[in-house]
Amino acid sequence: MSKITYREAIRAAMREAMRADPRVFLMGEDVGRYGGAFAVSLGLLDEFGPERIRDTPLSESGFLGAGIGAALGGMRPIVEIMTVNFSLLALDQLVNHAATLRHMSGGQFSVPMVVRMASGGGRGMAAQHSHSFEGWYAHVPGIKVLTPATVADAKGLLLAALEEPDPVVVLEHATLYPVEGDDTPDAPMEIGLAAVRRPGARVSLVTYGGSLPKTLKAADELAKEGVDAEVVDLRTLRPLDMDTVVGSIAKTHRAVVVDEMWKTGSFAGEVMARIMELAFDELDAPVVRVCSREVPMPYAKHLEEAALPQVGQIVAAAKGLL
């Protein structure tokens, strides 16, 4: 099989969507001539021209608002925001407008818009470019929140997002862009299904996005010590597939939840709460979580590594349940 990177998979999904539907276009900072801050849109300007690959001013609220208007007018915009930190400048547009218009209009209006943004730390980009706010968006009814962790999901979930009648936020962990995978799907994936990435029987490791590679490595380390860990990739945070999580815990009776948000108010806390509501009788030990340290993300590499969840912490948390 030929290999393709995570960024190439996203580019392929956008290219296929734009070839198939003239309403689809991409807009954002540096998406055109520069090829995207993470080289995701490289080459698309040459193929589709400046009308459909639109460089915008550095005004997230302005161009996300323009995306809402375009969607209301019948277009299918893909709005790229350089990092999730910068998306906070457009929080009003996304949360107070895009997410609410279908409900406030009694179903008369929809906003078929996809908002893509890079998320997470691990690149030495310091505190204004490296945080994880996906749980904030998952809190909001009216939008769907996707966190693809594999090359196949990067394409398949984006294709699915582009068919949705309402806003979809896609969080792309920035450390995943160069990761390679096998051939990607030609058809959209179903949104709202978690995936068991590694079967196991002793402990369930529940994660998503950029934490998946570390969690799989932790499972490998645990296997060397005779601990058979199951790894569950949530894939989407809203809607959240708790059936797969509960099914895993029914086998293992123990759970560790891993994410890069700060522990206070983390999405891991939401998953833990639902496990307690839905699978309390299955648990043989308290649910634990591994999250980022409660500091703004450091710039220095050794401090950043100390702030982020690491393989050793996941291994230790799992062993602590046994």
Residues whose CB falls within 8 Å of the CB of residue 314, separated by 6 or more in sequence, listed in order: 205, 214, 215, 218, 256, 258, 290
- Establish if 51 belongs to a structural domain: yes
Residues 149 and 263 grouped into a single domain: no
- Establish if 189 belongs to a structural domain: no
Cα separation, 280 vs 120, whole angstroms: 31
pTM, two decimals, is: 0.96
Residues 208 and 171 grouped into a single domain: no
Report CA-CA distances (Å) from 48 to 14, 72, 114, 222: 11, 22, 18, 48
- Establish if 250 belongs to a structural domain: yes
Predicted local distance difference test score (pLDDT) of residue 260: 97
Among 158, 181, 204, where does a domain finish? 181
Q: Give the percent of the chain with pLDDT over 90.
A: 98
How long is the chain? 322
Q: Which helix (H) or strand (E) segment is 145 a member of?
A: strand 144-146
Residues 146 and 264 grouped into a single domain: no
Report CA-CA distances (Å) from 150 to 7, 208, 304: 11, 10, 23
Report the CATH number at residue 277: 3.40.50.920
- Residues forming beta bridges with residue 119, ordered by sequence position: 173
Per the structure, how many domains does the chain have? 2
Among 155, 181, 207, where does a domain finish? 181
Nearest 5°: phi and psi at 169? -105, 125
Give the type of residue at 143: I
Report the CATH number at residue 60: 3.40.50.970
Residues 105 and 40 grouped into a single domain: yes
Residues 117 and 205 grouped into a single domain: no
Question: Would you call 132 helix, strand, or coil by DSSP?
Answer: coil
The mean of the pLDDT values for the chain is 97
Residues 286 and 157 grouped into a single domain: no
Residues 173 and 287 grouped into a single domain: no
Residues 300 and 253 grouped into a single domain: yes
Which residue range(s) make up the domain with 278? 195-320
- Establish if 190 belongs to a structural domain: no
pLDDT tens-digit readout, 130-188: 999 999 999 999 999 999 999 999 999 999 999 999 999 999 999 999 999 987 788 99
Catalytic residues: 60, 129
Residues 228 and 281 grouped into a single domain: yes
Question: DSSP assignment, residue 79?
Answer: E
CA 242 to chain CA centroid, nearest Å = 17
**147 Ramachandran zone, left/alpha/beta (phi>0; psi -120 to 50):** beta
- Establish if 188 belongs to a structural domain: no
Residues 53 and 176 grouped into a single domain: yes
Predicted local distance difference test score (pLDDT) of residue 184: 78
- Establish if 157 belongs to a structural domain: yes
- Residue of 311, 296, 59, 5 whose CA lies nearest to 178: 5
Q: Which of 182-186, 213-217, 273-277 has the lowest mean pLDDT?
A: 182-186
Residues 16 and 160 grouped into a single domain: yes
Predicted local distance difference test score (pLDDT) of residue 186: 87
Question: DSSP assignment, residue 193?
Answer: -
**Tokens linked to 301:** 């590499």
Q: What order do you get walking across the sheet with 236-238 strand by strand?
A: 53-55, 24-28, 76-83, 114-119, 168-173, 144-146, 236-238
- Establish if 165 belongs to a structural domain: yes
